[in-house]
């Protein structure tokens, strides 16, 4: 009881600390600043505070709710198709497949698509196939993750599709917990599991990424999940109701941007079809009316609920060198830019708070580098070095708040101390990549990490 009180007190202190900073900015800190800085500073702090407040006090894990209402009994009416697309992952793919095969939920199949691997991946997969543990689809030419997974979904027998990445693993009961969520609420079209770094103890870079991932799930996704409007069902553990996505698979695998195929934004785009099916569904189905995915099954178009479950856990390998990290972030930034023009077209139809947070986040990301330049370069050159120090202290403060949130979820871990470093890395390095990503967005070379 004493420990529970202690961690509840930490939550209160986080919210109050952010509120104090917000009030300070309103009444003292920005009185001589340009109007755009005032709006940006107040907006970022307000969005941060609201996210923590709602994630801490309003988020309820949909798995916990399902168990409570069903009294722990499963109807087991769903068959789950677990699937992964893999290219040149001979070091990791066995661990990934074993985690799918080892699920406590028994009504399942495992489908693996070999996307023209040139290393020893295919040999490993053929051993699993020989033992009749997996269904194997081997492609002669590299087609990319979307088209490869579409091959799997075309032959999948399940009414639930569970996707993962080839460098990821699931906890043994992850699928069972997510199935309970679908059983409990027929309006849920997709569920995102919780993700952490599998190789977090490898070096400093992997540790700071792990600390960042915790907040992205247990704070950011938890906030969106309160409104059943999670914007990205993330790749390591992404589970979809078949009827919510099946008719949109041809549009998904033929996803294009600026007149060419867009190979990134795999998870964001699939989530977008679930969130906005009722808005864009008829148009997409008409466009691909002759596709077997549409012709053979005509599912109702609707805007489904998309939620996040903290209880369903996964691990994924994060980049362990700076060049790999930069390449990953560029790919993610390109996905972010593209989805402004996809999900951004209809997300305003969602509840006010998550919609406001979504569009505000777009503005914050695009303005972030200019704000950093103003405080870290322009003002010091004008003789105000104090502005740079104060700005960096603010960045560290945000990281510290997320670090405390990490500690709440991982009470026996010291990983929370790395979170401020990730905030500094995001400010000094990652935020600037949005320009390079925009300038090279037509370059579709995909690389893991």
Structure confidence by residue, pLDDT tens digits, 8-65: 899 999 999 999 988 888 877 656 677 778 889 889 999 999 999 999 999 999 999 9
443 HSE (CA, 13 A, CB side): 11
End of a domain among 318, 340, 374?
318
Q: Are 148 and 136 in contact (CB under 8 A)?
A: no
Give residues with Cβ within 8 angstroms of 382, minimum separation 6: none
Q: Strands 305-316 and 168-170, how do they pair?
A: antiparallel
Q: Is residue 395 part of a domain?
A: yes
CB 184 within 8 A of CB 191: no
| Prediction pTM value | 0.94
Per-position b or e across 303-316, b if 16+ CB within 10 A of its CB? bbbbbbbbbbbbbb
CATH number of the domain at 106, please. 3.90.550.10
Same domain, 267 and 158: yes
Give the integer Cα–Cα distance in Å for 231 and 267: 9
Asked if residue 424 and residue 280 are part of one domain, the reply reads no
In a domain, 213, yes or no: yes
In a domain, 341, yes or no: no
The Cα–Cα gap between 334 and 339 comes to: 9
CA distance 149 to 112: 9
290 and 421 belong to one structural domain: no
Which residues on adjacent β-strands are paired with residue 154?
Answer: none
Residue 53 lies in a domain: yes
pLDDT 10s digits, 255-304: 999 989 998 889 999 999 999 999 999 999 999 999 999 998 899 999 99
Residue pair 391/181 in contact (Cβ under 8 Å)? The answer is: no
The CA-based angle 316-320-321, given to 5 degrees, is 145
Question: Are 147 and 230 part of one and the same domain?
Answer: yes
Distances (CA, A) of 53 to 16, 219, 310: 10, 9, 17
Are 121 and 448 in contact by the 8 Å Cβ rule? The answer is no
Does 335 fall in a domain? no
**For the chain, how many residues are written?**
449
Q: What angle do CA 323, 327, 330 make, to 5 degrees?
A: 135
Distance of CA 430 to the CA centre of its chain: 17
Same structural domain, 41 and 67: no
Q: Which helix (H) or strand (E) holds 273?
A: helix 266-287
Q: Per-residue DSSP letters for 86-151?
A: ESS-TTTHHHHHHHHHT-S--SEEEEEEEE---SSHHHHHHHHHHTTSSEEEEESS---HHHHHHH
370 and 425 fall within a common domain: yes
SS3 for 161?
strand
Q: Say yes or no: 78 and 24 in one domain.
A: no
Residues 426, 428, 433, 435, CA torsion sign: positive
Domain assignment present for residue 256? The answer is yes
> How many separate helices (H) and strands (E) can be counted in the chain?
19, 10
Task: Report d(CA 201, CA 210) in Å as an integer.
Answer: 9
Residue 75 sits in the same domain as residue 182:
yes
CA-CA distance, 4 to 18, in Å (whole number)?
22
3-class DSSP state for residue 31?
Answer: coil
On whether both 167 and 294 belong to a single domain, the answer is: yes
Per-residue pLDDT in tens (0 to 9) along the chain, 449 residues? 667 677 889 999 999 999 998 888 887 765 667 777 888 988 999 999 999 999 999 999 999 999 998 766 666 789 999 999 999 999 999 999 999 999 999 999 999 999 999 999 999 999 999 999 999 999 999 999 999 999 999 999 999 999 999 999 999 999 999 999 999 999 999 999 999 999 999 999 999 999 999 999 999 999 999 999 999 999 999 999 999 999 999 999 999 999 899 988 899 999 999 999 999 999 999 999 999 999 988 999 999 999 999 999 999 999 999 999 999 999 999 999 999 999 999 999 999 999 999 999 999 999 999 999 999 999 999 999 998 999 999 999 999 999 999 999 999 999 999 999 999 999 999 999 999 999 999 887 655 54
- Whole-Å CA distances, 412 to 171, 409, 415, 416: 19, 9, 9, 10
Domain end call among 277, 298, 318: 318
What pLDDT score was predicted for residue 447?
53
336 found inside a domain: no
Q: Is residue 423 part of a domain?
A: yes
- Number of domains composing the chain: 2
Helix (H) or strand (E) holding 260: strand 260-261
- Residue 152 contacts residue 129 (beta carbons within 8 Å): no
- DSSP helix/strand/coil, 296: coil
Q: Can you state the angle between helices 35-57 and 385-409, rounded to 10 degrees?
A: 10
- Are residues 265 and 204 part of one domain? yes
Contact 180, 62 (CB under 8 A): no
Statement to judge: residues 354 and 371 lie in one domain = yes
Using CA atoms, how far residue 73 sits from 108, 168, 179, in Å, is 18, 29, 12
Same domain, 286 and 195: yes
Provide the domain limits for residue 131.
Answer: 62-318
């Amino acid at each position: 009881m004493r420990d529970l009180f202690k961690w509840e007190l930490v939550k209160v202190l986080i919210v109050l600390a952010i509120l104090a900073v917000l009030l300070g900015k309103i009444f003292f800190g920005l009185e001589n600043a340009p109007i755009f800085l005032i709006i940006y500073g107040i907006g970022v702090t307000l969005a941060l505070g609201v996210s923590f407040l709602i994630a801490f006090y309003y988020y309820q894990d949909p798995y916990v709710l399902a168990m409570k209402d069903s009294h722990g009994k499963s109807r087991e009416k769903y068959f789950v198709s677990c699937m992964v697309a893999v290219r040149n992952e001979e070091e990791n793919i066995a661990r990934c497949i074993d985690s799918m095969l080892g699920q406590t939920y028994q009504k399942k199949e495992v489908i693996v698509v070999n996307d023209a691997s040139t290393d020893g991946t295919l040999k490993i997969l053929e051993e699993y196939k020989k033992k009749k543990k997996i269904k194997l689809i081997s492609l002669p030419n590299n087609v990319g993750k979307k088209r490869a997974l579409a091959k799997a979904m075309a032959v999948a027998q399940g009414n639930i599709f569970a996707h993962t990445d080839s460098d990821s693993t699931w906890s043994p009961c992850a699928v069972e917990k997510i199935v309970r969520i679908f059983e409990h609420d027929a309006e849920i079209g997709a569920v995102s599991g919780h993700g952490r770094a599998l190789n977090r103890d490898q070096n400093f870079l992997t540790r700071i990424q792990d600390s960042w991932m915790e907040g992205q799930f247990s704070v950011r996704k938890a906030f969106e999940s309160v409104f059943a409007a999670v914007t990205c069902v993330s790749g390591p553990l992404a589970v979809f109701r078949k009827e919510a996505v099946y008719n949109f698979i041809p549009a998904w695998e033929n996803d294009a941007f600026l007149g060419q195929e867009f190979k990134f934004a795999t998870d964001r785009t699939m989530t977008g079809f679930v969130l906005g099916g009722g808005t864009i569904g008829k148009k997409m189905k008409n466009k691909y009316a002759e596709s077997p995915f549409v012709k053979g099954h005509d599912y109702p178009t609707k805007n489904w609920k998309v939620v996040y479950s903290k209880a369903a856990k996964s691990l994924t390998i994060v980049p362990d060198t700076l060049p790999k990290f930069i390449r990953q972030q560029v790919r993610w930034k390109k996905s972010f830019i593209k989805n402004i023009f996809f999900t951004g077209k209809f997300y305003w139809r969602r509840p006010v708070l998550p919609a406001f947070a979504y569009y505000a986040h777009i503005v914050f990301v695009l303005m972030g580098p200019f704000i950093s330049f103003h405080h870290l370069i322009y003002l010091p050159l004008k003789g105000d070095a104090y502005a740079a120090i104060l700005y960096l202290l603010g960045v560290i403060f945000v990281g510290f708040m997320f670090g405390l949130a990490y500690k709440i979820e991982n009470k026996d871990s010291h990983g929370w101390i790395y979170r401020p470093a990730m905030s500094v890395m995001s400010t000094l390095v990652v935020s600037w990549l949005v320009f390079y990503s925009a300038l090279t967005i037509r370059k579709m070379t995909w690389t893991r990490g």
